[in-house]
Structure 1
Amino acid sequence: MTSHTRLVSWHGPRRELDTQLPLPTKSEARQTAASSFIIIPSRTHLSTNLLPRQSAEDLDTPSPLPQSQESLESALKPHDGTLPVPSSRVCKGTSKLTRSQTSIGTGYDLANAIFSPDGRNFQVEYAIKAVENGGTSLGIRCKDGVVLAVEKVIGSKLLKPNANKRIATVDRHIGVAFSGMVPDGGHFVDRARDEAVSWRDIYKFPIPTNALAARMGTYLQAYTCHSYVRPFGITAIIAGFDPEEELPVDGEVGSGPACGAGGKVAGKKHGGPFLYMIEPSGLYWGYYGAATGKGRQAAKAELEKLDLASGTMTLEQAVKEAARIIHKSHGEENAKDYEIEISWISGRDGPTKGRHVEVPEELKEEAIRLAKEAEDEEE
């Protein structure tokens, strides 16, 4: 067999290597390429270089050509067909990253459309954290209406009093209070108003409170399914008083066993006071009393003492209780100044004539004064 020599050039990072190497025969080249080598075209000319197959972690930096004839012959030996086993360093690093991702959310909190292996959506949980950093908001459902109250922390003495409202009117008979990021709350209110206007245009009737809560819950839930948006950093409390109308049948048909569902309920009317709370995930529930924000735990504990399910509390009593709960949940450890926003809504024969409005200033000041006196008595 005639021996041939050939000039092979290897161009690595900032270096060149010219070596006289024996050229393998065609049969040897085919056997070598089929077993453990790949053909890589040279960067500078069309000659082919036979290089050892590289692992996945070495693809970025090419391995140098063997420096001696013995090392080249060792590299050109036929492969036995077995696959290389990944190094323990790679396996350990991968398993450690997986455990870290599962416990603290690394890798699974980059988009809100990703669930962690244990079924958590970290972006939604982060949005709930934003709500917990906001002021306390609460709602109380009474026998003749609904009351909303919000603790608004004053971050600077230069701010204009009674600005940056946390309570807004969506429709004549519906109001919204929220805790969390104020810009997100503004967008939520704008969207809720659009839904109310759309309902009036289509059905020629004010939107029911439960229908608005369902639509806004669906809207917030959509922001947890796409990676190009983020969840809302608010929890909203929706209060409304739907117009009371006599039903054409005895009972509220199709609304479940609690309301008759086709049975006979004497004097049953459609409408009345309603209270809903919508979370960043889009989940919403109906409540007799609801609270969210930084002081939610203390506020919920106080609401549970009022026995709101009995339906005996009046609107004026609820206003005073709301001011007391907000004042108590603020806490002495929080030295920042704050304002209290309170609104209410009643039926057509009540003090608000079926509209969502702010409580009169005299009643608000009296409620705040009684709240401070109650705190002094407890001390």
Structure 2
Amino acid sequence: MSGIGTGYDVTPTTYSPEGRIFQVEYAARSVENSSTAIGIRVSDGVIFGVEKKIISKMLVKGSNRRVGSVGDHIGASIAGLTADGRRIIKQANSEAKSYKDLTSEAIPLNVLVDRISSFVQMHTLYASIRPFGCAVMFGSYNEKDGAQLFLVEPSGVSFGYYGCAIGKAKQSAKTEIEKLNLSELTCREAIKQVAKIIYTIHDESKDKEMELEMSWICKESGGKHELVPDDLIAEAEQFAKDNTVSTNILNFDNI
């Protein structure tokens, strides 16, 4: 019975006989059921791309964003429960402010990720709180450290990545990312590639309509996290649609 969590999933403080913590696994499942988010680290910065499902035609475009900023020098992207992700970003901003008040310098990304990982992991230790049902990618760029990309998982584990995907179609997205020569791509080139990946993994026959949300932090943005300009997104979307269509035709011919 323990294999399905019966009796061992009431609180995150209880281990099953197999050594599993089911509430943490449930939190990870909420990330796996979410729309896909992608982050890639290239030669001159970091690009975030998010597949944001349009759940109602009455929604205002650009509302309920799944990307956010920590100060102006770190970007973040969420998969899973968006509200939980915003809480983590709020905590990250609090940590960044505390560090700057103490040292008069902007917090380095690796220091911020260590603190946020501890904050997330703390929510797996007490019966009175639940684990966060989201994963958050953090990215930064400066002349000293170059581009950096990290992922914090619901368990509190964090990893550094060259390219990362989280959400429902993460495996397909990772396969596409691995085909890219990230060290030679620029951010402007990477925008098109991220858009192409998002459109490739989006199944129009099964999934709801989506809005492509993209942000970058790079040399061109002056090391500040900003939304990608609308004209670049429109150009990237057209590139993605053209290349996705041609790929589908090729596969059909091969059949």
TM range (shorter): over 0.9
2:78 matched to which residue of 1?
Answer: 178
- What is the alpha-carbon distance in structure 2 between the residues aligned to residue 153 and residue 131 of structure 1? 15
1:201 matched to which residue of 2?
Answer: 101
- What is the alpha-carbon distance in structure 2 between the residues aligned to residue 295 and residue 141 of structure 1? 19
Cα offset for 1:335? 3.5
- What is the alpha-carbon distance in structure 1 between the residues aligned to residue 76 and residue 163 of structure 2? 14
1:314 matched to which residue of 2?
Answer: 186
Cα offset for 1:225? 0.7
Helix, strand or coil: the match of 1:183? helix
2:166 matched to which residue of 1?
Answer: 292
**Structure 1 residues 174-216: Cα deviation after superposition (integer angstroms, max 9, x where no partner):** 0100111111011111101101111100111000011111111
1:273 matched to which residue of 2?
Answer: 147
Alignment partner of 1:378 is 2:244: no
The residue identity in structure 2 corresponding to 1:193 is N
Cα offset for 1:126? 0.3
Alignment partner of 1:231 is 2:231: no
Helix, strand or coil: the match of 1:117? coil
1:60 matched to which residue of 2?
Answer: none
1:302 matched to which residue of 2?
Answer: 176
Helix, strand or coil: the match of 1:377? helix
Cα offset for 1:274? 0.3
Helix, strand or coil: the match of 1:199? helix
2:223 matched to which residue of 1?
Answer: 354
Helix, strand or coil: the match of 2:46? strand
Given the alignment, which residue of 344, 348, 371 partners 2:216? 344
Given the alignment, which residue of 41, 46, 65 partners 1:165? 65
Helix, strand or coil: the match of 2:114? helix
- 1 or 2 for the larger relative contact order (CA 8 Å, sep ≥6)? 2
Cα offset for 1:132? 1.2
Helix, strand or coil: the match of 1:300? helix
- What is the alpha-carbon distance in structure 2 between the residues aligned to residue 197 and residue 227 of structure 1? 29
- What is the alpha-carbon distance in structure 1 between the residues aligned to residue 106 and residue 49 of structure 2? 24
The residue identity in structure 1 corresponding to 2:91 is R
Cα offset for 1:134? 1.1
1:221 matched to which residue of 2?
Answer: 121
Helix, strand or coil: the match of 1:130? helix
- What is the alpha-carbon distance in structure 2 between the residues aligned to residue 305 and residue 235 of structure 1? 24
**RMSD, aligned CA:** 1.0
Given the alignment, which residue of 195, 202, 222 partners 1:330? 202
Given the alignment, which residue of 9, 19, 22 partners 1:122? 22
The residue identity in structure 1 corresponding to 2:221 is T
Identical aligned pairs, as a percentage? Answer: 42
The residue identity in structure 1 corresponding to 2:187 is L
The residue identity in structure 1 corresponding to 2:216 is W
The residue identity in structure 1 corresponding to 2:105 is F
Question: Which runs of 5 or more residues in structure 2 are unaligned?
Answer: 249-255
Which structure is larger by alpha-carbon Rg, 1 or 2?
Answer: 1
**Structure 1 residues 39-91: Cα deviation after superposition (integer angstroms, max 9, x where no partner):** xxxxxxxxxxxxxxxxxxxxxxxxxxxxxxxxxxxxxxxxxxxxxxxxxxxxx
The residue identity in structure 2 corresponding to 1:216 is I
Helix, strand or coil: the match of 2:78? strand
Question: Which runs of 5 or more residues in structure 1 are unaligned?
Answer: 1-99, 245-269
Helix, strand or coil: the match of 1:277? strand
Cα offset for 1:286? 0.3
Q: Is the 8 A contact 2:192 2:239 kept in 1?
A: yes
Cα offset for 1:339? 0.4
- What is the alpha-carbon distance in structure 2 between the residues aligned to residue 239 and residue 329 of structure 1? 23
Count of aligned pairs? 248
Cα offset for 1:332? 3.2
- What is the alpha-carbon distance in structure 2 between the residues aligned to residue 301 and residue 104 of structure 1? 30
TM-score normalised to structure 1 length: 0.64
Alignment partner of 1:151 is 2:51: yes
TM-score normalised to structure 2 length: 0.95
The residue identity in structure 2 corresponding to 1:202 is L
Cα offset for 1:307? 3.2
Given the alignment, which residue of 4, 7, 11 partners 1:111? 11
Cα offset for 1:355? 0.6
- What is the alpha-carbon distance in structure 2 between the residues aligned to residue 329 and residue 178 of structure 1? 18
* Higher helix proportion (structure 1 or 2): 2
**Structure 1 residues 284-321: Cα deviation after superposition (integer angstroms, max 9, x where no partner):** 1000000001111110110111133xx11111111111
Helix, strand or coil: the match of 1:198? helix
- What is the alpha-carbon distance in structure 2 between the residues aligned to residue 154 and residue 369 of structure 1? 19
- What is the alpha-carbon distance in structure 1 between the residues aligned to residue 214 and residue 59 of structure 2? 19
- What is the alpha-carbon distance in structure 2 between the residues aligned to residue 121 and residue 360 of structure 1? 43
